[in-house]
């Protein structure tokens, strides 16, 4: 634990890993909330309006924790990985800039408007807001995966005086390790959110809720989303194997050749990916198989609404399966990122060289602070999600009329 | 291209300090502006619709820094590591206090969230004061220096700015209390802009700038999109232009 490189890596892994947990649900749930609000706005049906508020409430709780972990991550690049910004920052920084300016700025601004503008804005404008939020959330994911895809498979750059310069923006943006990963993660998010929605609905149906119509509809949306996403996830995941780094799978002829090549160029060292990467791959594949079986069972049941309401064993299975996409996501991510070691940018910059020239005590101190903080955030987020999920539709505060004490609200007085 | 990128970074940084400076200031003055938990919720309703849209200015500034001035990211974040190690947890604690306060209906929970908001806002303002002070004194040499301490009074500028904002947005008893501060939003905003530009002018821009495609892509894209981003923000300002006297979602 006194190795600053290991601490810095672990800190980034914990930050990115916890951020990723929230993002997966946020991406998928935003889509499902936008879809539900569209149905509510088009048909004017009360049940869809209530569904929008209930699932929107869970989405907003989750988003708030996702955003703060993301903020910390953006700054950690510069704090702990100073070598990265000086050597490859001219390439790596471009997609990060695009993410904030093209996507995140509008996403967050409009999300605030969506939350606080409930009941104040024209309903079509309000609907447009959630779609813009959803679209920009996906754009955000795309640009981040462009940055990450470049770390896996650097393209469109040249080295001049030991510093990487961007030469081909198009190659950077169409890098297969970015584009395929985007669809893989996007469908993974839908799978996560679909199963989350189905699991929460199953809980209420299992408890013989009075809100049968509400949760039967929600369960159907969740299961159909999950079943529709499960196959694209594996297709876009599998396509990425064509671009997987040779050293990720130890012992193959390509791996041995690549390790010898690195040793010749960068000096002797251990260029083999840690065994943890292969473990991540195995867990991801296993969990996906379970999800596939569940998707088949769901497809059989979905056409029969009464079966969804009554199948108590199925309710338990669906509830138990809610964590599975998270396990698959995290282990797939371990496979991708740990399998890149010892490189930050594959074949260009090692993690050791990228580490900031900061006193080890500072890195250790910030590790303790941020790890403690994130542990609290994850627990609070999980607890609040469970609490609001359990309360059901009437507990949603999002979009609720403000609690009035009988006082008539004052007329709007423009101030700026 | 370098000039365009510097202007874009200045726009986002100044935008953050002026807009978010106000909601940080309101957080600092929360116990003064609102005497009990119900009043404090109304105080928070004044910044509610804005704080999310305010902090994105800093995220965008960090993004433009990463894209156009990768050397600066290295220079500032590594050189002033201890200040950022205060700034970031303070930001997280404050934001969580804001987001979560209204989610559990219990006096202890609200009290804890209020404490998180106040402590987080003060720590955030002090970290910004020390950061700006260090840049003003140190210039090209990023690191803790005399300015890190001299900058601390700048935190009070955030508080005054927050009071100025509360005078524009609040009503009733909260407004009366905000009026006791000799604060004008416009005046403190100009002061914040001045400090930010003075600190920025001391940085060694030509040493930290990116080059070629990476720089051009970042600078041009940001400049092209800026009107759209401003329009999105203007929609928020217009929608929530009135005074508040009742709680909101927070």
Q: Could you tell me whether strands A163-166 and A157-160 are parallel, antiparallel, or unpaired per DSSP bridges?
A: antiparallel
Average pLDDT over residues B35-42: 88
Report the complex ipTM: 0.91
Q: Does A128 touch chain B (CB under 8 A)?
A: no
Asked if residue B250 is part of any domain, the answer here is: no
Backbone angles phi, psi at A341, to 5 degrees: -60, 150
Q: Report helix, strand or coil for A81.
A: coil
pLDDT at A404: 43
A407 chain-B contacts, CB cut-off 8 A: 245-246
**Nearest alpha carbon to residue B33 among B242, B179, B182:** B179
How far is Cα B155 from Cα B176, in angstroms, rounded to an integer? Answer: 23
What tokens appear for A51 in the block? 């569904």
Between the two ends of chain A, the Cα-to-Cα distance in Å is 54
Query: How far, rounded to the nearest angstrom, does the alpha carbon of residue A363 sit from its chain's CA centroid?
Result: 26
Inter-chain residue contact A407 with B60, CB threshold 8 Å = no
Inter-chain residue contact A109 with B236, CB threshold 8 Å = yes
Q: Per DSSP, what are the bridge partners of residue B230?
A: none
How confident is the prediction for chain B on average, in pLDDT? 88
What tokens appear for B131 in the block? 């950061």
User: Domain range for residue B111?
Assistant: 2-239
* Closest CB to A416 among B232, B237, B239: B237
**From residue B104, how far is each of A26, A391, B101, B110 by CA, in Å?**
21, 12, 7, 8
Q: Report helix, strand or coil for A166.
A: strand
**From residue A144, how far is each of A141, A182, B156 by CA, in Å?**
5, 9, 37
B49 chain-A contacts, CB cut-off 8 A: 112-113, 115-117
CB < 8 Å from B in window 77-106 of A: 77-79, 82, 85-86, 89-94, 96-102, 104-106
How far is Cα B21 from Cα B192, in angstroms, rounded to an integer? Answer: 8
Task: Please give the full DSSP string across A387-415, using - where no structure is assigned.
Answer: HHHHH-GGG--TTPPP---SPPPPPP---
The model carries a pTM of: 0.91
Inter-chain residue contact A64 with B96, CB threshold 8 Å = yes
pLDDT at A273: 79
How far is Cα A165 from Cα A168, in angstroms, rounded to an integer? Answer: 9
The nearest CA of chain B is from the CA of A116 a distance in Å of 6
Q: Does A135 touch chain B (CB under 8 A)?
A: no
Q: Does A281 touch chain B (CB under 8 A)?
A: no
* Closest CB to B52 among A91, A94, A111: A111
Asked if residue B246 is part of any domain, the answer here is: no
A412 chain-B contacts, CB cut-off 8 A: 241-243
**Nearest alpha carbon to residue B17 among B51, B53, B65, B54:** B54
What tokens appear for A242 in the block? 């064509």
A416 chain-B contacts, CB cut-off 8 A: 168, 237, 241
How far is Cα A146 from Cα A99, in angstroms, rounded to an integer? Answer: 10
How far is Cα B109 from Cα A20, in angstroms, rounded to an integer? Answer: 27
Residue position matching structure tokens 């009071």: B163
Inter-chain residue contact A117 with B49, CB threshold 8 Å = yes
Determine whether A383 is exposed, middle or buried from the number of CB atoms within 10 Å of its CB (0-12, 13-18, 19+): exposed
Q: Per DSSP, what are the bridge partners of residue A365?
A: none
Structural domains of chain B, count: 1
How far is Cα A333 from Cα B3, in angstroms, rounded to an integer? Answer: 39
Q: Closest chain A residue to B247 measured between Cα atoms?
A: A402
pLDDT at A401: 64
DSSP state of A241: G
CB B200, CB B10: distance < 8 Å: yes
Average pLDDT over residues B72-93: 86
Average pLDDT over residues B15-38: 92
Q: Does A353 touch chain B (CB under 8 A)?
A: no
CB < 8 Å from B in window 187-206 of A: none
CB < 8 Å from A in window 5-44 of B: none
pLDDT at A411: 41
How far is Cα B62 from Cα B73, in angstroms, rounded to an integer? Answer: 8
- Percent above pLDDT 70 for chain B: 100
A365 chain-B contacts, CB cut-off 8 A: 85
Residue position matching structure tokens 């003055």: B29
Q: Does A370 touch chain B (CB under 8 A)?
A: yes
CB B149, CB B127: distance < 8 Å: no
How far is Cα B191 from Cα B155, in angstroms, rounded to an integer? Answer: 12
How far is Cα A293 from Cα A303, in angstroms, rounded to an integer? Answer: 17
Q: Which of A80, A86, A105 to mutate to test the interface with B (most CBs of B within 10 A)?
A: A105
Asked if residue B244 is part of any domain, the answer here is: no
pLDDT at A279: 87
* Closest CB to B91 among A71, A116, A168: A71
Asked if residue B245 is part of any domain, the answer here is: no
Q: Does A388 touch chain B (CB under 8 A)?
A: yes
CB B196, CB B17: distance < 8 Å: yes
pLDDT at A415: 43
pLDDT in tens, B147-185: 788 878 889 999 999 999 998 888 888 888 888 888 888
Total CB pairs under 8 A between chain A and B: 237
**From residue A63, how far is each of A166, A357, B96, B170 by CA, in Å?**
33, 33, 11, 28
The sign of the torsion formed by the CA atoms of B219, B224, B230, B233 equals negative
Asked if residue B248 is part of any domain, the answer here is: no
For residues B46-75, one letter each, b for 16 or more C-beta atoms within 10 angstroms of the residue's C-beta and e for the rest, the string is bbbbbbbbbbbbbbbbbbbbbbbbbbbbbb
* Closest CB to B48 among A99, A116, A165: A116
Determine whether A39 is exposed, middle or buried from the number of CB atoms within 10 Å of its CB (0-12, 13-18, 19+): middle
How far is Cα A410 from Cα B82, in angstroms, rounded to an integer? Answer: 46
Q: Per DSSP, what are the bridge partners of residue A164?
A: A159
pLDDT at A129: 95
Between the two ends of chain B, the Cα-to-Cα distance in Å is 42
CB B12, CB B219: distance < 8 Å: no
Q: Profile chain A (416 residues) by mean pLDDT over runs of 10 residues.
A: 79 87 92 95 92 94 88 80 83 90 91 90 93 95 94 89 88 92 95 95 91 92 93 88 80 80 80 83 90 89 81 90 93 88 85 81 84 89 92 85 45 43
Determine whether B175 is exposed, middle or buried from the number of CB atoms within 10 Å of its CB (0-12, 13-18, 19+): middle
């Amino acid at each position: 634990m006194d190795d600053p490189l290991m601490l810095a890596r672990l800190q980034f892994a914990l930050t990115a890993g916890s951020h990723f947990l929230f993002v997966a649900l946020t991406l998928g749930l935003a889509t499902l909330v936008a879809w539900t609000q569209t149905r509510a706005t088009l048909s004017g049906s009360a049940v869809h309006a209530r569904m929008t508020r209930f699932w929107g409430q869970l989405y907003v709780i989750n988003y708030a924790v996702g955003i703060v972990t993301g903020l910390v991550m953006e700054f950690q690049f510069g704090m702990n990985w100073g070598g990265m910004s000086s050597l490859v920052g001219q390439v790596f920084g471009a997609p990060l800039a695009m993410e904030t300016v093209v996507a995140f700025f509008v996403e967050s601004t409009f999300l605030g408007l969506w939350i606080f503008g409930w009941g104040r804005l024209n309903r079509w404008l309000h609907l447009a807001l959630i779609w813009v939020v959803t679209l920009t959330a996906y754009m955000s994911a795309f640009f981040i995966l462009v940055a990450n895809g470049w770390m896996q498979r650097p393209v469109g750059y040249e080295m001049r005086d030991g510093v990487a310069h961007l030469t081909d923006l198009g190659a950077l943006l169409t890098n297969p390790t970015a584009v395929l990963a985007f669809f893989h993660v996007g469908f993974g998010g839908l799978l996560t959110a679909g199963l989350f929605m189905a699991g929460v609905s199953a809980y209420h149906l299992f408890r013989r809720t009075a809100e049968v119509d509400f949760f039967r509809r929600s369960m159907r949306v969740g299961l159909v989303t999950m079943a529709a996403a499960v196959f694209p996830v594996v297709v876009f995941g599998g396509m990425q194997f064509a671009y997987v780094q040779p050293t990720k799978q130890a012992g193959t002829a390509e791996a041995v050749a690549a390790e010898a090549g690195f040793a010749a160029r960068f000096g002797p060292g251990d260029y083999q990916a840690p065994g943890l990467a292969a473990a991540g791959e195995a867990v991801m594949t296993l969990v996906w198989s379970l999800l596939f079986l569940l998707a088949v069972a769901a497809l059989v049941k979905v056409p029969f609404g009464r079966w969804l309401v009554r199948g108590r064993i199925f309710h338990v299975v669906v509830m138990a399966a809610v964590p599975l996409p998270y396990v698959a996501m995290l282990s797939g991510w371990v496979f991708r990122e740990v399998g890149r070691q010892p490189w930050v940018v594959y074949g260009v910059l090692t993690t050791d060289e990228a580490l900031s020239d900061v006193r080890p005590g500072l890195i250790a101190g910030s590790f303790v602070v941020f790890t403690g903080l994130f542990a609290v955030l994850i627990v609070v987020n999980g607890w609040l999600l469970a609490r609001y999920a359990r309360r059901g539709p009437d507990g949603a505060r999002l979009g609720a009329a403000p609690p009035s004490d009988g006082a008539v609200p004052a007329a709007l007085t423009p101030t700026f | 291209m370098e000039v365009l990128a510097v202007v874009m970074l200045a726009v986002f940084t100044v935008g953050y300090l002026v807009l978010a400076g106000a909601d940080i200031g309101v957080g600092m003055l929360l116990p003064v502006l609102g005497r009990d938990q119900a009043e404090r919720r109304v105080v928070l309703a004044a910044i509610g619709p804005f704080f999310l849209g305010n902090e994105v200015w800093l995220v965008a500034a960090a993004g433009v820094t990463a894209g156009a001035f990768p050397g600066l990211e290295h220079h500032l974040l590594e050189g002033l590591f201890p200040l950022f190690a205060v700034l970031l947890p303070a930001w997280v604690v404050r934001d969580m206090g804001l987001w979560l306060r209204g989610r559990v209906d219990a006096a202890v929970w609200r009290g804890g969230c209020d404490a998180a908001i106040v402590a987080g806002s003060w720590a955030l303002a002090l970290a910004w004061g020390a950061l700006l002070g260090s840049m003003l004194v140190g210039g090209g040499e990023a690191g803790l220096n005399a300015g890190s301490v001299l900058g601390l009074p700048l935190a009070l500028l955030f508080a005054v700015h927050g009071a100025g904002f509360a005078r524009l947005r609040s009503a009733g008893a909260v407004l009366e209390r905000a009026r006791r501060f000799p604060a004008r939003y416009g005046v403190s905003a100009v002061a914040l802009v001045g400090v930010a530009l003075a600190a920025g002018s001391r940085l060694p821009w030509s040493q930290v700038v990116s080059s070629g495609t990476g720089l051009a892509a970042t600078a041009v894209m940001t400049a092209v999109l800026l009107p759209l981003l401003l329009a999105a923000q203007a929609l928020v300002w217009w929608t929530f232009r009135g005074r508040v006297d009742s709680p909101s979602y927070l």
